Amino acid sequence: MTIGYDKPLYILPFDHRTLFQSSLYGWSGALSPEQTEKIADTKDIIYDAFKIALRRGVPKENAGILVDAQFGERILRDAIKNGYITCMPAEKSDQAEFTFEYGERYANVIQEYNPTFVKTLVRYNPERDETMNRRQAARLRELADYLSSHNRYFMFELLVPATREQLDQCGGDQKLYDRALRPSLMLRAIQELQDAGVEPDVWKIEGFDTRQEFVAVADVARRNGRANVGCILLGRGAHADTIIDWLEKGASVPGFSGFAVGRTTFWEPIVAYRDGKATRTHAAEQIAKNYLEWVRVFQEGKKG
């Protein structure tokens, strides 16, 4: 299978698990069937919003959802039946080190659901624990090789969290770390992972302050014959104004083909629904409106 996917890709991600369980509903430990269904029902609202956006003009061939099988099984099955682009996570939620959600059964689960993309969220800092980085890279290469040999697309969500030393170097200022250190560390991380045989079709990347930094990431993602590899922007739960700025910059860069913005799209409407301040219909409408806005901004950026 040739590496790469460079078609426009507008993803609505709601594969979050800990976020819904702990932050939204305040639950810990093993969930009851009723609690599990409550989270699944909440995710149904986001899926409803996705379908509203499709009816309002988002191209079906470019629109997709990213949802987990734990709470989104019926969503995944319905989306696949309807021919939507589907992505499902392979990682165990909220872990410092990448670990397979289903252990050695991961391939069986992928085959069962048959998503368009398999996605991994990975925290990888080149100056962090070298032994852990090697362990992660080995697991990720195994997954990449499996997906490639079975003609499945691989989406890699790369986070580069600061080490304590790096944050100290920036006076404890996360924003300064994001500006001064993270861009170059991200380039190194992509190169190290590629050199370790980890070959995603799409890199899901945090935004930057300058267009030049977007260009640098696209260049390294596509280096050495990887001309079809795509990059999409993730949201980090940032304010809408920040999302729009990133989308405008990224859209203007060859190699950036879309976005996957989750919490900024759905969080406030879902909280309003939880608190009884919005109906299901109103929450879905607001989520669809947000998603449609990201699509509009990105498409306009491509034209400009």
Higher-scoring residue by pLDDT: 166, 94: 166
Cβ atoms of 199 and 192 within 8 Å: the answer is no
CA 300 to chain CA centroid, nearest Å: 22
Mean pLDDT of 211-233: 97
Is the per-residue pLDDT at 245 higher than 90?
yes
Q: Where are the domains of the chain?
A: 9-303
If residue 292 lies in a helix (H) or strand (E), which one and from where to where? helix 280-303
Architecture of the domain whose range is 9-303: Alpha-Beta Barrel (3.20)
Is the per-residue pLDDT at 1 higher than 80?
no
Query: What share of the chain has pLDDT > 90, as a percent?
Result: 96
The pTM of this model reads 0.95
pLDDT of residue 303: 83
Mean pLDDT of all residues belonging to the chain: 96
Q: Render the burial of 88-98: b for 16+ CB within 10 Å, e for the rest.
A: bbbbebeeeeb
Please give, one letter per residue, the 3-state secondary structure of 179-237: HHCHHHHHHHHHHHHHHCCCCCCEEEECCCCCHHHHHHHHHHHCCCCCCCCEEEEECCC
Is the per-residue pLDDT at 7 higher than 80?
yes
pLDDT of residue 2: 83
Mean pLDDT of 208-213: 95
In angstroms, the CA 23 to CA 25 distance is: 6
Bridge partners of residue 12, in order along the sequence:
65
Q: What is the DSSP letter of 23?
A: I
Q: How many CA atoms lie within 13 A of 169 on its CB side?
A: 11
Mean pLDDT of 7-15: 97
Reported as a single tens digit per residue, the pLDDT across 251-280 is 999 999 999 999 999 999 999 999 999 999
Cβ atoms of 91 and 101 within 8 Å: the answer is yes
Mean pLDDT of 160-186: 96
Reported as a single tens digit per residue, the pLDDT across 21-61 is 999 999 999 999 999 999 999 999 999 999 999 999 999 99
Identify the band that residue 12 occupies on the pLDDT scale cut at 50, 70 and 90: very high
In angstroms, the CA 154 to CA 33 distance is: 31
In angstroms, the CA 162 to CA 167 distance is: 6
CA-nearest of 7, 5, 9 to 260 is: 9
What are φ and ψ of residue 208, in 5° steps?
A: -130, 170
In angstroms, the CA 297 to CA 75 distance is: 27
What are φ and ψ of residue 15, in 5° steps?
A: -85, 5
Is the per-residue pLDDT at 304 higher than 80?
no
111 by Cβ neighbours in 10 Å (0-12 / 13-18 / 19+) ranks as exposed
Bridge partners of residue 256, in order along the sequence:
231
Identify the band that residue 287 occupies on the pLDDT scale cut at 50, 70 and 90: very high
Query: How do the residues of the chain divide into helix, strand and coil, expressed in percent and rounded to 5?
Result: 55, 15, 35
Please give, one letter per residue, the 3-state secondary structure of 24-74: HCCCCCCCCHHHHHHHHHHHHHHHHHHHHHHHCCCCCCCEEEECCHHHHHH
